[in-house]
Amino acid sequence: MRIGELAERAGTTTRTLRYYESRGLLPARRNAQGHRTYDEGDLRLLRQIRTLQDFGFGLEETRPFVECLRAGHAEGDLCPASLLVYRRKLAELDTLIGELTAVRAQVGAQLARAERERAALAAEASVPGGPEPGCELGGRR
Protein backbone atom coordinates (compact mmCIF):
# COMPACT_ATOMS: atom_id res chain seq x y z
CA MET A 1 0.00 0.00 0.00
CA ARG A 2 1.08 3.59 -0.53
CA ILE A 3 1.77 6.16 2.18
CA GLY A 4 -1.63 7.87 1.93
CA GLU A 5 -3.52 4.62 2.39
CA LEU A 6 -1.34 3.60 5.31
CA ALA A 7 -1.83 6.99 6.97
CA GLU A 8 -5.59 6.73 6.54
CA ARG A 9 -5.79 3.17 7.86
CA ALA A 10 -3.55 4.03 10.82
CA GLY A 11 -5.47 7.22 11.61
CA THR A 12 -2.46 9.48 11.21
CA THR A 13 -0.87 11.75 8.61
CA THR A 14 1.67 11.16 5.88
CA ARG A 15 3.87 13.73 7.59
CA THR A 16 3.88 11.63 10.76
CA LEU A 17 4.77 8.53 8.75
CA ARG A 18 7.68 10.33 7.12
CA TYR A 19 8.84 11.44 10.57
CA TYR A 20 8.67 7.86 11.88
CA GLU A 21 10.64 6.79 8.83
CA SER A 22 13.31 9.43 9.54
CA ARG A 23 13.53 8.13 13.13
CA GLY A 24 14.01 4.56 11.92
CA LEU A 25 10.71 3.31 13.34
CA LEU A 26 9.06 2.69 9.99
CA PRO A 27 10.89 0.98 7.11
CA ALA A 28 11.70 3.05 4.04
CA ARG A 29 10.88 0.71 1.17
CA ARG A 30 10.28 2.08 -2.31
CA ASN A 31 8.86 0.57 -5.47
CA ALA A 32 10.33 0.92 -8.98
CA GLN A 33 8.66 4.31 -9.41
CA GLY A 34 10.22 5.56 -6.16
CA HIS A 35 6.98 5.56 -4.17
CA ARG A 36 7.02 4.44 -0.55
CA THR A 37 5.35 1.05 -0.10
CA TYR A 38 4.02 -0.54 3.06
CA ASP A 39 2.38 -3.78 4.12
CA GLU A 40 0.13 -5.05 6.92
CA GLY A 41 3.17 -5.52 9.16
CA ASP A 42 3.87 -1.80 8.90
CA LEU A 43 0.28 -1.10 9.90
CA ARG A 44 0.80 -3.31 12.98
CA LEU A 45 3.92 -1.30 13.85
CA LEU A 46 2.00 1.94 13.60
CA ARG A 47 -0.86 0.65 15.70
CA GLN A 48 1.64 -0.44 18.35
CA ILE A 49 3.27 3.00 18.36
CA ARG A 50 -0.08 4.80 18.55
CA THR A 51 -1.36 2.60 21.38
CA LEU A 52 1.77 3.18 23.42
CA GLN A 53 1.68 6.91 22.76
CA ASP A 54 -1.98 6.97 23.86
CA PHE A 55 -0.75 5.43 27.12
CA GLY A 56 1.77 8.25 27.52
CA PHE A 57 4.89 6.57 26.16
CA GLY A 58 7.34 8.79 24.32
CA LEU A 59 8.25 7.98 20.75
CA GLU A 60 11.68 6.62 21.69
CA GLU A 61 10.07 4.42 24.34
CA THR A 62 8.15 2.65 21.56
CA ARG A 63 11.33 1.56 19.77
CA PRO A 64 11.82 -1.76 21.68
CA PHE A 65 8.21 -2.72 20.92
CA VAL A 66 8.67 -1.94 17.22
CA GLU A 67 11.92 -3.92 17.13
CA CYS A 68 10.22 -6.84 18.86
CA LEU A 69 7.50 -6.87 16.19
CA ARG A 70 10.09 -6.59 13.44
CA ALA A 71 11.89 -9.60 14.94
CA GLY A 72 8.78 -11.63 14.15
CA HIS A 73 7.04 -11.75 17.52
CA ALA A 74 3.24 -11.74 17.53
CA GLU A 75 3.18 -8.91 20.07
CA GLY A 76 5.58 -6.04 20.58
CA ASP A 77 5.86 -6.58 24.31
CA LEU A 78 7.22 -10.14 24.30
CA CYS A 79 10.88 -9.09 24.27
CA PRO A 80 12.99 -8.28 27.36
CA ALA A 81 13.66 -4.70 26.20
CA SER A 82 9.92 -4.05 25.94
CA LEU A 83 9.33 -5.42 29.42
CA LEU A 84 12.04 -3.12 30.73
CA VAL A 85 10.26 -0.12 29.20
CA TYR A 86 7.00 -1.24 30.84
CA ARG A 87 8.77 -1.45 34.21
CA ARG A 88 10.28 2.02 33.79
CA LYS A 89 6.94 3.49 32.77
CA LEU A 90 5.20 1.92 35.77
CA ALA A 91 7.84 3.38 38.10
CA GLU A 92 7.37 6.78 36.44
CA LEU A 93 3.60 6.53 36.84
CA ASP A 94 3.96 5.51 40.49
CA THR A 95 6.09 8.61 41.09
CA LEU A 96 3.53 10.83 39.36
CA ILE A 97 0.69 9.26 41.33
CA GLY A 98 2.60 9.98 44.54
CA GLU A 99 3.15 13.59 43.53
CA LEU A 100 -0.49 14.03 42.54
CA THR A 101 -1.62 12.45 45.80
CA ALA A 102 0.48 14.99 47.73
CA VAL A 103 -0.94 17.89 45.69
CA ARG A 104 -4.45 16.56 46.24
CA ALA A 105 -3.85 16.47 50.00
CA GLN A 106 -2.63 20.08 49.94
CA VAL A 107 -5.64 21.24 47.93
CA GLY A 108 -7.94 19.34 50.31
CA ALA A 109 -6.29 21.02 53.31
CA GLN A 110 -6.69 24.45 51.68
CA LEU A 111 -10.35 23.73 50.98
CA ALA A 112 -10.96 22.61 54.57
CA ARG A 113 -9.26 25.76 55.90
CA ALA A 114 -11.26 28.00 53.55
CA GLU A 115 -14.53 26.31 54.52
CA ARG A 116 -13.77 26.77 58.25
CA GLU A 117 -12.94 30.43 57.66
CA ARG A 118 -16.09 30.93 55.60
CA ALA A 119 -18.22 29.31 58.30
CA ALA A 120 -16.65 31.60 60.93
CA LEU A 121 -17.34 34.68 58.78
CA ALA A 122 -20.91 33.55 58.17
CA ALA A 123 -21.41 33.14 61.93
CA GLU A 124 -20.05 36.67 62.54
CA ALA A 125 -22.33 38.07 59.85
CA SER A 126 -25.40 36.65 61.54
CA VAL A 127 -24.55 38.57 64.75
CA PRO A 128 -25.88 42.16 64.81
CA GLY A 129 -22.98 44.49 64.00
CA GLY A 130 -21.05 41.66 62.33
CA PRO A 131 -19.29 42.10 58.99
CA GLU A 132 -21.38 42.72 55.88
CA PRO A 133 -21.32 40.03 53.23
CA GLY A 134 -18.97 41.21 50.47
CA CYS A 135 -19.27 38.33 48.06
CA GLU A 136 -21.66 35.58 47.26
CA LEU A 137 -19.86 33.43 49.82
CA GLY A 138 -20.43 35.93 52.60
CA GLY A 139 -16.91 37.36 52.83
CA ARG A 140 -15.91 40.84 54.04
CA ARG A 141 -15.91 43.93 51.83
Give the pTM.
Answer: 0.75
pLDDT in tens, 16-62: 999 999 999 999 899 999 999 999 999 999 999 999 999 999 999 99
Distance CA 59, CA 47 (A): 13
Distance CA 67, CA 51 (A): 15
pLDDT in tens, 107-130: 999 999 999 999 998 888 776 655
Is the domain defined by 1-78 classed in CATH 1.10.10.10? no
- Write the DSSP assignment of 58-81 as a string of letters: -TGGGHHHHHHHHTT-SSTTSSHH
Contact 17, 35 (CB under 8 A): no
Contact 54, 44 (CB under 8 A): no
